[in-house]
């Protein structure tokens, strides 16, 4: 029941944000179909390897929006959320189901990635904290 509530909440939040932004601001959402511009290979690679795909498609192919300070912050901190934001802006009118799936992948992928990393660090702290004590013993000789 929790999952259905989360899905419904996410859908309503995205729809509400879209309506508010399109009605009360000058933001225009793209009217391009995703599959006219990209294919299935791009779709799977952006879901599995977001940083690599964003970098290659932005630098080499120029097939996505690229650059800017917020773009680079999103690229390094949360690339899946950056992909979901770009998908929402570009493809919401023609592919709303694809945009909602991208948000599920973004929120699920980022949170599970952080959960796995924090779990590994807490299960074996010796691996990550090499210098745990307050002093380090060392031998040395003074040259005269």
pLDDT tens-place string over residues 80-127: 888 888 888 788 788 888 888 888 888 777 667 777 777 777 766 555
Structure tokens at 108: 């699920």
Residue 139 placed within a domain: no
Q: Is 56 helix (H, G, I), strand (E, B) or coil?
A: helix
Residue 12 placed within a domain: no
Residue 54 placed within a domain: yes
- How many structural domains are present in the chain? 1
**Average pLDDT of the residues in 10-16:** 77
Residue 83 placed within a domain: yes
Structure tokens at 26: 């000058």
Q: Residue 92: how many CB atoms within 10 A of its CB?
A: 21
Residue 80: which domain range? 31-123
Structure tokens at 110: 């980022």
CB 110 within 8 A of CB 81: yes
pLDDT tens for each residue of 50-80 = 888 888 877 776 666 666 777 788 888 888 8
**Average pLDDT of the residues in 32-42:** 82
Residue 48 placed within a domain: yes
pTM of the model: 0.62
d(CA 57, CA 104): 22
| Per-residue pLDDT at 137 exceeds 70 | no
Residue 85 placed within a domain: yes
User: For the chain, how are helix, strand and coil distributed in percent, rounded to 5?
Assistant: 70, 0, 30
pLDDT for residue 129:
58
d(CA 131, CA 133): 6
Residue 16 placed within a domain: no
Residue 55 placed within a domain: yes
Q: Is 137 helix (H, G, I), strand (E, B) or coil?
A: coil
| Per-residue pLDDT at 131 exceeds 60 | no
**What are the C-alpha distances in Å from 121 to residues 59, 76, 108, 133?**
34, 21, 20, 18
pLDDT for residue 99:
85
- End-to-end, the C-alpha distance of the chain in Å comes to 77
């Amino acid at each position: 029941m929790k999952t259905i509530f989360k899905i419904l909440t996410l859908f309503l939040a995205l729809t509400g944000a879209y309506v508010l932004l399109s009605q009360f601001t000058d933001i225009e959402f793209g009217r391009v179909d995703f599959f006219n511009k990209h294919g299935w290979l791009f779709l799977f690679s952006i879901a599995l390897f977001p940083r690599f795909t964003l970098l290659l498609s932005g630098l080499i192919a120029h097939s996505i929006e690229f650059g800017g300070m917020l773009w680079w912050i999103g690229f390094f901190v949360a690339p899946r959320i950056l992909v979901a934001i770009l998908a929402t802006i570009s493809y919401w009118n023609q592919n709303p189901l694809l945009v909602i799936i991208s948000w599920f992948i973004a929120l699920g992928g980022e949170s599970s990635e952080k959960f796995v990393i924090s779990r590994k660090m807490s299960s074996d702290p010796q691996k990550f904290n090499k210098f745990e004590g307050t002093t380090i013993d060392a031998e040395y000789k003074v040259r005269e």
